[in-house]
């Protein structure tokens, strides 16, 4: 079964993990780069230094130490700088350097979309823009041939690494779940940084976001152009995506059972996100035959007129915006239909287990020393290689429910750990268990949890967990839990026992 636009359908970078190339400077063994002497290229590329700070998801009232990461920025029309990097979102300070100079000028992030990931920066100091000019963005991008990867170094040297086009494909970048037009670059350079500029024949063809296998992946220039132009008009609405999973239809018996003719091909929907594009007009069991008049083959690919064979997820995002409508031809219960599908942006916070969170920390509550919070991918990332090392029941929940919220249970709430105290004797080792009910009330969000704790059953709070998780229930004395609050604040340095407390 092939899936796209679904949490768990591909390896996801945890928010606290930095994508390949974002933090590591070029090692001493990296191949030598030749300086770029073309003044037109030098005037269109800047160095960006980002300082930020993440939340500590194990102690959610605290933050991690600040970090500083470099990125390469591309000058675009309107006196703005474009970056393709996951460093934005929890940034605290952005500084920009031009033409290899040591001086740093403060910048402002005016637009950030993690689904790129793409960000636009503005610099208010008028003198900064002297001697800077935008570089042209290529459209289309080349399918083959030579290119150069450009990057300002901390030493003030603009390096140029030779490379070639490996392929053009549909791909995802950073923490994104959206398929975008992607350029894979083969180069001998190692340890490239974030948002390095890829140039061919004097035009920008992409911005590098990280490494995939033996090649570096770049967001292709047509996507960059679309983002910049829509942002300039004030109409940026995000990237749309389908929001469904599908099954390949290569088996003859399966095809025949669905009523496909010998000349027909397509894929069968096996999952439809309730908050996604597909939910507006498509159903589980539908066979997608065509999207926007383009036939889909039995493995979920189509023939792009410029770039060849592509994953059909691209048809829902390439050059399109949320609010646009795409005609989809389907086979449903033996009947061939054409349905109009309004495209949607799927925000990360709409998923049951959000894949990333920016601009705020975890929603949490500490009751009697028990730490409750909603399950998120940033929390899972605290286990390191969490796809293999995370708690099995949490990984099962992520795989089965991560992107499938319901009105009754929009989130998964867990007891993440316990701060030992006299109020919770015997519970000290309990951690990473999913909360099912509190005081008889079903828990589907932190708001549910707070409301449930406000209505105890007599003298006790009764916390019940997902069946099969040990222990299956904890009981707290209501008064003892209240009395423990000040002890816990003092002993563990918890400034707020609830993220909603002010």
Each residue's pLDDT, cut to its tens digit, for the chain (502 residues) gives 344 333 333 333 445 444 433 333 333 344 444 444 455 789 999 999 999 999 999 999 999 999 999 999 999 999 999 999 999 999 999 999 999 999 999 999 999 999 999 999 999 999 999 999 999 999 999 999 999 999 998 888 999 999 999 999 999 999 999 999 999 999 988 878 899 999 999 999 999 999 887 899 999 999 999 999 999 998 899 999 999 999 999 999 999 999 999 999 999 999 999 999 999 999 999 999 999 999 999 999 999 999 999 999 999 999 999 999 999 999 999 999 999 999 999 999 999 999 999 999 999 999 999 999 999 999 999 999 999 999 999 999 999 988 899 888 999 999 999 999 999 999 999 999 999 999 999 999 999 999 999 999 899 999 999 998 878 899 999 999 999 999 999 999 999 999 986 4
CATH number of residue 401's parent domain? 3.20.190.20
Same domain, yes or no, for 63 and 182? yes
Same domain, yes or no, for 400 and 258? no
**Gap between the Cα atoms of 270 and 254, Å rounded:** 14
Determine, yes or no, domain membership for 1. Answer: no
Same domain, yes or no, for 224 and 248? no
Determine, yes or no, domain membership for 2. Answer: no
Of 232, 253, 271, the domain-final residue:
232
**Gap between the Cα atoms of 402 and 124, Å rounded:** 41
Same domain, yes or no, for 43 and 106? yes
Of 342, 373, 389, the domain-final residue:
342
pLDDT of residue 185: 96
Determine, yes or no, domain membership for 238. Answer: no
Determine, yes or no, domain membership for 58. Answer: yes
Same domain, yes or no, for 195 and 65? yes
Determine, yes or no, domain membership for 430. Answer: yes
Same domain, yes or no, for 327 and 451? no
pLDDT of residue 25: 37
Instruction: Show the beta-strand stretches assigned E in 261-324.
Output: 267-272, 287-291, 294-295, 301-304, 308-311
Same domain, yes or no, for 260 and 388? no
For 469-474, the CB contacts below 8 A with 24+ separation are: 469/393, 469/433, 469/434, 470/433, 471/430, 471/433, 474/370, 474/415, 474/424, 474/427, 474/430
pLDDT of residue 127: 95
What would the 3-class secondary structure string for 21-73 be? CCCCCCCCCCCCCEECCCHHHHCCEEEEEEEECCECCCCCCCECCCEEEEEEE
pLDDT of residue 221: 98
177 with 115: CB under 8 angstroms? yes
**Gap between the Cα atoms of 377 and 7, Å rounded:** 10
Same domain, yes or no, for 318 and 373? no
pLDDT of residue 18: 41
Same domain, yes or no, for 33 and 110? yes
Same domain, yes or no, for 124 and 215? yes
Of 342, 364, 386, the domain-final residue:
342
CATH number of residue 89's parent domain? 2.40.10.120
Same domain, yes or no, for 109 and 207? yes
Same domain, yes or no, for 194 and 98? yes
Determine, yes or no, domain membership for 69. Answer: yes
Determine, yes or no, domain membership for 445. Answer: yes
CATH number of residue 297's parent domain? 2.30.42.10
**Gap between the Cα atoms of 389 and 376, Å rounded:** 16
Phi, psi of 258 (to 5 degrees): -85, -10
Determine, yes or no, domain membership for 498. Answer: no
Domain boundaries, position 176? 12-232
| Total tally of structural domains belonging to the chain | 3
pLDDT of residue 3: 40
C-alpha of 328 from chain center: 26
Burial environment of residue 58 by CB neighbours within 10 A (0 to 12, 13 to 18, 19 or more): middle
Whole-angstrom CA distances from 227 to 50, 294, 422, 423 are 21, 24, 55, 53
């Amino acid at each position: 079964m092939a899936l796209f636009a679904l949490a768990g359908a591909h390896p996801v970078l945890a928010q606290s993990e930095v994508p390949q190339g974002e933090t590591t400077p070029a090692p001493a063994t990296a191949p030598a780069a030749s300086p770029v002497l073309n003044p037109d290229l030098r005037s269109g590329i800047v160095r960006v230094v980002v300082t930020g700070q993440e939340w500590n998801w194990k102690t959610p009232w605290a933050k991690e130490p600040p970090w500083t990461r470099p990125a390469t920025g591309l000058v675009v029309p309107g006196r703005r700088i474009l970056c393709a990097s996951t460093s934005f979102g929890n940034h605290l300070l952005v500084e920009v350097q031009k033409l290899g100079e040591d001086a740093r000028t403060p910048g402002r992030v005016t637009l950030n979309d993690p689904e790129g990931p793409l960000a636009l920066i503005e610099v208010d100091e008028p003198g900064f823009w002297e001697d800077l000019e935008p570089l042209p963005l290529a459209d289309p991008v080349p399918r083959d041939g030579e290119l150069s990867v450009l990057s300002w170094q901390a030493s003030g040297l603009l390096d140029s690494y030779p490379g070639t086009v490996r392929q053009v494909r549909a791909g995802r970048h950073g923490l994104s779940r959206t398929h975008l037009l992607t350029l894979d670059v083969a180069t001998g350079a190692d340890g490239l940084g974030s948002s390095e500029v890829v140039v061919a024949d004097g035009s920008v063809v992409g911005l590098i976001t990280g490494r995939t296998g033996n090649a570096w992946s770049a967001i292709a220039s047509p996507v960059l152009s679309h983002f910049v132009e829509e942002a300039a008009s004030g109409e940026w609405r995000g990237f749309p995506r389908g929001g469904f999973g599908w099954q390949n239809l290569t088996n003859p018996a399966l095809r025949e059972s669905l009523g496909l003719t010998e000349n027909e091909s397509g894929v069968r929907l096996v999952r439809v996100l309730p908050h996604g594009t597909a939910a507006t007009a498509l159903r589980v069991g539908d066979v997608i035959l065509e999207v926007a008049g383009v036939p889909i083959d039995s493995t979920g690919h189509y023939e792009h007129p410029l770039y060849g064979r592509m994953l059909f997820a691209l048809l829902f995002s390439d050059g399109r915006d949320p609010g646009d409508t795409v005609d989809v031809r389907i086979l449903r219960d033996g009947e061939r239909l054409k349905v109009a599908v309004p495209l949607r942006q799927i925000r990360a916070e709409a998923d049951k287990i959000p894949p990333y969170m920016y601009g705020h920390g975890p929603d949490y509550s500490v009751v009697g020393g028990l730490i409750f919070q909603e399950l998120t991918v940033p929390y899972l990332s605290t286990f390191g290689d969490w796809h293999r090392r995370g708690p099995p029941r949490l990984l099962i929940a992520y795989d089965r429910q991560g992107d499938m919220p319901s009105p009754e249970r929009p989130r998964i709430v867990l007891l993440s750990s316990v701060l030992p105290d006299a109020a919770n004797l015997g519970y000290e080792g309990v951690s990473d268990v999913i909360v099912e009910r509190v005081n008889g009330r079903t828990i589907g969000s932190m708001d549910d949890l707070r409301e449930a704790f406000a209505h105890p059953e007599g003298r006790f709070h009764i916390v019940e967990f997902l069946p099969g998780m040990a222990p299956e229930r904890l009981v707290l004395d209501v008064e003892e839990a209240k009395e423990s609050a000040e002890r816990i604040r003092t002993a563990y340095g918890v400034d707020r026992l609830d993220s909603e407390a002010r």
